[in-house]
Amino acid sequence: MPMSLRLARAAWPAFLMACLLELIVFAMVDPADVHWMGHELSLGRISVYSLAFFLFWAVSLAGNALMMLLNCSTCPAVAKK
């Protein structure tokens, strides 16, 4: 399977999960009230939304990639002998 197809298979569900997490988190949290280590962030609302979305996407993508690696029967690292 081509690498681009494997990446798409991991990235698309991760994107959808990031969208869902963004909706859930920011339904309860106001980005203007977010503090980091006791200090108020100097970022605007859109910046907080964007950074959080990409963080959620990266974490979801890492989980999907790990699941695909562990599920891969042809990968040398997990091939059954």
Dump pLDDT digits (tens) for 39-71.
887 888 898 899 999 999 999 999 988 888 887
| Res. 79: pLDDT tops 60 | no
CA–CA separation, 61 vs 30, rounded Å?
25
Which DSSP state fits 17? H
Confidence band of 19 (pLDDT split at 50, 70, 90): very high
User: DSSP alpha helices (H): ranges in the chain?
Assistant: 3-28, 45-71
- Of 8-17, 57-66, 72-81, give the lowest mean pLDDT range: 72-81
- CB of 24 closer than 8 Å to CB of 53: no
- Counting Cβ atoms within 10 Å, is residue 23 exposed (0-12), middle (13-18) or buried (19+)? exposed
pLDDT value at position 34?
A: 79
Q: Would the pTM of this model clear 0.95, i.e. be above it?
A: no
